[in-house]
Chain A
């Protein structure tokens, strides 16, 4: 079930891995070794593996990806375009997967601690034991590669009852001029009881060589009554590949909103597992994507109602044109004792060309009897009656189509609670769709 490519990728990665662990002594060595063993055993999946039926790893398997060198940095001016306007954030910059303190906000606060993972490794910090508890290396091939090769990222802890007013903005920049760059980063975010945190992670490219591999793992621990919003805005170069594993555990009365926004890369795949682990936990998983040319955007989502009295929503909208493709696999599992569950799922894709395609695969597995679950999935064109409604008010058919396409793409964006970030996303949508709608 693994790809048999001309290029012997297993030998290649083995060489890279042996060199990597020699250079990076750290308490994570065992974790990395186990992850790498998993990769060696399974390799890159071929299309006969159910979860990879619509997605080819062949191009990635054929390339000798390497860890980027850590010598690259950028100036303050160069990272300016990646910042949000009209908002003060705790800015954390990663370039080629390495923390850049000189470009980042240094905080000195009682309520929150932010450490770079490379620092924790140097210090043999015991907190590193948490790494891998929510995103296991066995999850999929990219989780295994991430665990084997990530060098940096952030360990963020918010103390009990703390409300962090400023959002954290993690700016993840790929600026590797060398080819075959595997930019792997990893975060562990722990928000303690009744605390609140908003976090935005954005991905960018800056004069990087084409075809880079961005590989992110993010573990979110939402404690009792905590409230977390996680937003990812992906604007990497059109030739890049971007894989994320974003997993979360939400405890009693906890609340999590995630919003995945994709405007870049050639192949994007988000894997997300959320476990609702205590009564009255709530999770809202949102996403918006725009696909041109041959871009592919995958969402493999898993919402686990491990206990009863919880609610969840999945809301996704995509606009696809040219030969773009999307896969949405939304799995919702309601365990046998999870009574009074309220789960909803809505995934809609708008196809602007005959060659665009979308595969919508809702999977509801309900083992409890007292539940409310709904799902709706549509793939297709603009709603005719909406089009006539606008035309009947004097708006031309062409302009009405533009307006409705933008409205369709912006529907889920309204769930972003940070106003300046929402405005930025509206602008990105307008900018991305203007190419298709002119």
Chain B
């Protein structure tokens, strides 16, 4: 589904990713771990197509096509979803209106009929249950005045509505208490299917107690320096990153 080869990327002239390789197949959950500043968020944003990040070398193949030149909206319509580390507050834009517009862009792209306001509400109510989100958040402006936990739930709620093939969760656990973490993870797990894949970018092992990965990768200084199974996360929790970095 996703094949990243020798990826180099820079922000404001500073090279962050320095030859990253990663392969993700349908049905798999991959965890990307690593210390601060290793390039985890850069990787998530580059996959989604943020234009602050300049790809200077390498390729990202998604379903066989190099997507580096593809606009972020087209990546999204093709099934890539980024759950933001810091979801943006947009005062004045109604959450329901926003998400219905997004869903209909995707439907249009796929040649499916668009969803009207009433039908959308039915879909939204159903999907909100997954993340135990309060109904009134639908009527509020996007993320505006939401608590940290509400913002993250809103991200997973959007993911549930848009049904991506490849979801990238960027530090979705940051700022969550244990109950919120459990609820958000439950949502992510419920969305797991044999034909989709998830990349979980995280700093801490604790999220991986809830979203169990098939593979764990250690990202350090812009490269993946070590990969393993789910037990690697526990080892990292115990020993830190130094033993890998100094290897």
Binding site for B on A (CB under 8 A): 383-386, 388-397, 399-400, 403-404, 406-411, 414
The 6 A-B residue pairs whose C-beta atoms are closest, nearest first, are: A407-B92, A411-B92, A407-B93, A394-B76, A393-B102, A391-B72
Which A residues are CB-close (under 8 A) to B52? 384
Q: What residue of chain B has the Cβ atom nearest to residue A388's Cβ?
A: B50
Complex Cα gap A404–B97 (Å): 12
Q: What residue of chain A has the Cβ atom nearest to residue B101's Cβ?
A: A395
Are B90 and A386 neighbours in the complex by a CB distance under 8 Å?
yes
Complex Cα gap A409–B76 (Å): 27
Q: Which of B51, B73, B87, B141 sits near A396, CB closer than 8 Å?
A: B73
Which B residues are CB-close (under 8 A) to A403? 93, 98, 101
Q: Which of A384, A389, A395, A411 sits near B87, CB closer than 8 Å?
A: A389
Chain A nearest CB: distance from B94 CB in Å? 8
Interface 0/1 of B161-182, CB less than 8 Å to A = 0100000000000000000000
Are A394 and B93 neighbours in the complex by a CB distance under 8 Å?
no
Q: What residue of chain A has the Cβ atom nearest to residue B77's Cβ?
A: A394
Q: Which of A390, A397, A404, A411 sits near B71, CB closer than 8 Å?
A: A397
Complex Cα gap A400–B162 (Å): 17
Chain A nearest CB: distance from B140 CB in Å? 10
Are A399 and B71 neighbours in the complex by a CB distance under 8 Å?
no
Q: What residue of chain A has the Cβ atom nearest to residue B102's Cβ?
A: A393
Q: Does B42 contact A (CB under 8 A)?
A: no
Q: Does B84 contact A (CB under 8 A)?
A: yes
Chain A nearest CB: distance from B78 CB in Å? 9
Complex Cα gap A394–B92 (Å): 20
Which A residues are CB-close (under 8 A) to B122? none
Complex Cα gap A385–B84 (Å): 11
Can you give 18 A-B contacts (C-beta < 8 A)?
A: A384-B52, A385-B88, A389-B88, A390-B102, A391-B73, A392-B50, A392-B81, A394-B106, A396-B105, A403-B98, A404-B90, A406-B92, A407-B91, A407-B92, A408-B92, A410-B92, A411-B91, A411-B92
Q: What residue of chain B has the Cβ atom nearest to residue A396's Cβ?
A: B73
Interface 0/1 of B91-123, CB less than 8 Å to A = 111000011011001100100000000000000
Q: Which of A388, A395, A409 sits near B102, CB closer than 8 Å?
A: A395
Q: What residue of chain A has the Cβ atom nearest to residue B90's Cβ?
A: A386
Complex Cα gap A348–B141 (Å): 18
Chain B interface: which size bin?
20 to 34
Q: Does B158 contact A (CB under 8 A)?
A: yes
Q: What residue of chain B has the Cβ atom nearest to residue A414's Cβ?
A: B92
Complex Cα gap A384–B50 (Å): 10
Binding site for A on B (CB under 8 A): 48-52, 71-73, 75-77, 81-82, 84, 87-88, 90-93, 98-99, 101-102, 105-106, 109, 141, 158, 162
Chain B nearest CB: distance from A405 CB in Å? 10
Q: Given A389-B84, A395-B105, A396-B105 in contact, is the A404-B50 Cβ separation under 8 Å? A: no
Which A residues are CB-close (under 8 A) to B48? 392
Q: Given A403-B98, A407-B141 in contact, is the A395-B92 Cβ separation under 8 Å? A: no
Are A393 and B93 neighbours in the complex by a CB distance under 8 Å?
no
Are A386 and B88 neighbours in the complex by a CB distance under 8 Å?
yes
Q: What residue of chain A has the Cβ atom nearest to residue B82's Cβ?
A: A392
Which A residues are CB-close (under 8 A) to B73? 391-397, 400
Complex Cα gap A301–B155 (Å): 40
Are B101 and A391 neighbours in the complex by a CB distance under 8 Å?
no
Are A390 and B98 neighbours in the complex by a CB distance under 8 Å?
yes
Q: For the A-B complex with A388-B72, A391-B72, A392-B84 known, give 6 more contacts whose Cβ atoms are closer than 8 Å.
A: A392-B48, A392-B49, A393-B105, A394-B102, A396-B105, A407-B141
Q: What residue of chain A has the Cβ atom nearest to residue B158's Cβ?
A: A393
Which A residues are CB-close (under 8 A) to B141? 407, 411
Which A residues are CB-close (under 8 A) to B76? 391-394
Complex Cα gap A409–B90 (Å): 12
Are B72 and A399 neighbours in the complex by a CB distance under 8 Å?
no
Are B51 and A389 neighbours in the complex by a CB distance under 8 Å?
no
Complex Cα gap A409–B87 (Å): 21
Chain B nearest CB: distance from A432 CB in Å? 15
Complex Cα gap A386–B87 (Å): 9
Chain B nearest CB: distance from A387 CB in Å? 9
Which B residues are CB-close (under 8 A) to A399? 101, 105
Complex Cα gap A389–B76 (Å): 11
Complex Cα gap A386–B50 (Å): 11
Are B90 and A389 neighbours in the complex by a CB distance under 8 Å?
yes
Complex Cα gap A222–B73 (Å): 51
Which A residues are CB-close (under 8 A) to B82? 392
Q: Which of B51, B77, B99, B106 sits near A388, CB closer than 8 Å?
A: B51
Complex Cα gap A68–B169 (Å): 66
Chain B nearest CB: distance from A423 CB in Å? 13
Complex Cα gap A414–B90 (Å): 14
Complex Cα gap A411–B105 (Å): 24
Complex Cα gap A388–B52 (Å): 10
Which B residues are CB-close (under 8 A) to A397? 71, 73
Q: Given A388-B50, A388-B51, A389-B87 in contact, is the A394-B109 Cβ separation under 8 Å? A: yes
Complex Cα gap A407–B90 (Å): 8
Complex Cα gap A406–B90 (Å): 11
Which B residues are CB-close (under 8 A) to A406? 92
Which A residues are CB-close (under 8 A) to B101? 395, 399, 403
Which B residues are CB-close (under 8 A) to A388? 50-51, 72
Which A residues are CB-close (under 8 A) to B50? 388, 392
Residue from B48, B72, B75, B81 having most chain A Cβ neighbours under 10 A: B72
Which B residues are CB-close (under 8 A) to A394? 73, 76-77, 102, 105-106, 109, 162
Are B162 and A393 neighbours in the complex by a CB distance under 8 Å?
yes
Complex Cα gap A396–B102 (Å): 9
Complex Cα gap A390–B49 (Å): 12
Chain B nearest CB: distance from A291 CB in Å? 18
Which A residues are CB-close (under 8 A) to B158? 393
Complex Cα gap A386–B102 (Å): 14
Which A residues are CB-close (under 8 A) to B106? 394
Which A residues are CB-close (under 8 A) to B92? 406-411, 414
Complex Cα gap A403–B141 (Å): 12
Chain A nearest CB: distance from B73 CB in Å? 5
